[in-house]
Amino acid sequence: MVLSVSTHASGSPVPSFSNADVPCAWPVESTPLKANVAYPDSNATYWTTPYIAEPGLSITVSGAFPSARFFGIDVYSSDAQSIVYRKAPSSLSDFQIVPDAGSQNPWVTAGALNGGTYTVRLSRAARAGSINTLPIAPRVPTAPLIPGLPRTTGFVMLRVYLPQGGNADDASVVPLPSLTFRRRGSATRTLMPCARAQATARGTSRIRSPKMRVLMARFLGGRDVFAFKTCDSLRKRRTGTTTCPPPLQFIRAGGTDTPFPNAISGYAAALYTPARGYITVVRAQMPQSAVAAGSAPAPWPGTGDQLRYWSVCNYVYKVPFPVVTAGTQMGCLADQQFAALGPGNTATVAISSVADRPVVTRDPASGIGWLPTSPTDTAARELVAVRNMLAAPGFEQGAMDVGAYNSPSSAAAAMGPYYPSATQCTTSTFAAGGVEGCFQSPASPAVAPARRRTRR
C-alpha cells in the first residue's frame, strides 16, 4: 500500500496448474489474524480465489448482497495489479452492481436489506460500460507477483468492510457467493464456498495442487514472495540519500507496485519512530463519511456524505508490513469507533506502547482514540495511515486526489483542510498539556539518535 517497491519473478519454468486444483470458492481469507500482510485494514475481510485464465474461460459470481458498510468485487492479473481491458475496469463497488431481476440493491434502494441477489461475470467480453461484467485477464499475460505461479494466473477478490454482526467468518453475516466456471468444450463447474474458513496463513489446504498450496501459503505468510524494498533501501547512487519523506509528514502512499490495490481508496501516510516514554499524536479534519449507516448498507451517496469510509491505522514498516496488533487490540480505528470528534469533524489519535497509553484515551467521551505500537518489533519504524475510501461525486480533497506520491507539499495542497498533522512528545508532556501541549513540544524521537530505538 505504501512506500514500497515490489520485484517480480523472472521467466523461470513453472509447474502446471489447472482450475481443478481449486475445489471450492474463496479458499484464501485475509485478516490481521490469518494473513497480516501488505497493510490490511483490521475492519475489513478479504476473500480471494486464484484461477488460471484459460482461453475461452468465463467465471460467474452469484451471491446475495451482504449487510455491511462496503462490499466490492475486484479482479487482478498475475502481478496482483488491477486490469484495464478494452477500457473496462476490473473493480465493481456495491452501488454499481445491478441486482438480479426481482431483487434490489441496498446501496441503491433504501430499505432493501435482505434477500437481494446479484450476478457478476468475469469475461473477455468486458467492455467500457459493460453491466456487471469484469475483465478476466489482461490482453498480455503479466509476470507473476508470486514466483512459481503461471503468467495466466488471475485472482478474484471480495472486500467487505464493517460487516453487520462483526464476525466475518460467520456465513450468516457475510454470505459468500458461488463461482461457476464455463469454457467451450468443457463441462460447466460450480464452486460453492469452502466449508471451513482458513485458520492461518497456511490454511490453504483446500487447494489441491501441493505446489500452488505452498506458494499461496508463503504469500499469505509474507515470506520472500513479497520482494519489497523500503524507502531506506532505495538510495540514490550519487548522493546516498534515501527516498523517504521527512518523518511525521504525510504523503500520498501507494503506487503501481502496490499488490492487490483497492481502486477506490487513497492513503495519506507518515513514517515515525516509536520510543518508550513517547506519544505520537495524529490529528486531522475528516471528511463526512457514511458513518450514520454504521454496519448496514445505505443508498450511496447519502445526504452530505463525502466518503463511504475512513480509518486510521498503524503499521510496522518492514516486510511483510503488518497492521500492529497488541493482544485483542487491533491497529486500526474505523470512523464509527470514534465516540466523539472535535470541532470541524476533527479526529485525534494517540499512538504509544501499551504501557504508555494515556489514561484519557480510555474515556470514549474524550474524543481521543488510541492505537498501539508493536509490542514485539519495537526497534522497527512504524507508519500511520489515514485511509479514505470511495469519494462521493464532487468531493475532490481526499487522499486519492493527490497527484504526486511521496510528496508532503503535494498532499497538503490537494487535501487542504483534510491534510493530517502529526507530532511526538514525552508522556509527561502529554499528561501535563494534552494534545495541544504535545503539538507545542519540540521533542521528537523520530529524528533523535538511534539509541532510543531499543527493544523493550
- Dump pLDDT digits (tens) for 149-207: 899 999 999 999 999 876 555 555 788 999 999 998 889 999 999 876 555 544 455 56
Q: How confident is the model at residue 332 (pLDDT cuts 50, 70, 90)?
A: very high
When pLDDT is cut at 50, 70 and 90, the band that residue 273 belongs to is very high
3-state SS, one letter per residue, for 255-308: CCCCCCCCCCEEEEEEEECCCCCEEEEEEEECCCECHHHCCCCCCCCCCCCCEE
Residue type, 397: Q
Report d(CA 271, CA 40) in Å as an integer: 17
CA atoms within 13 A on the CB side of 433: 13
Summarize pLDDT for 6-46 with one digit per residue, the tens: 344 444 444 578 898 888 899 888 887 777 888 899 999 99
Question: pTM value?
Answer: 0.88
The span from the CA of 243 to the CA of 233, in Å, is 8
Q: Whose grid coordinates read 513479497?
A: 226
**Residue ranges of the chain assigned to CATH 2.60.120:** 246-452
Output the pLDDT for position 448.
44
CATH-assigned architecture of domain 246-452: Sandwich (2.60)
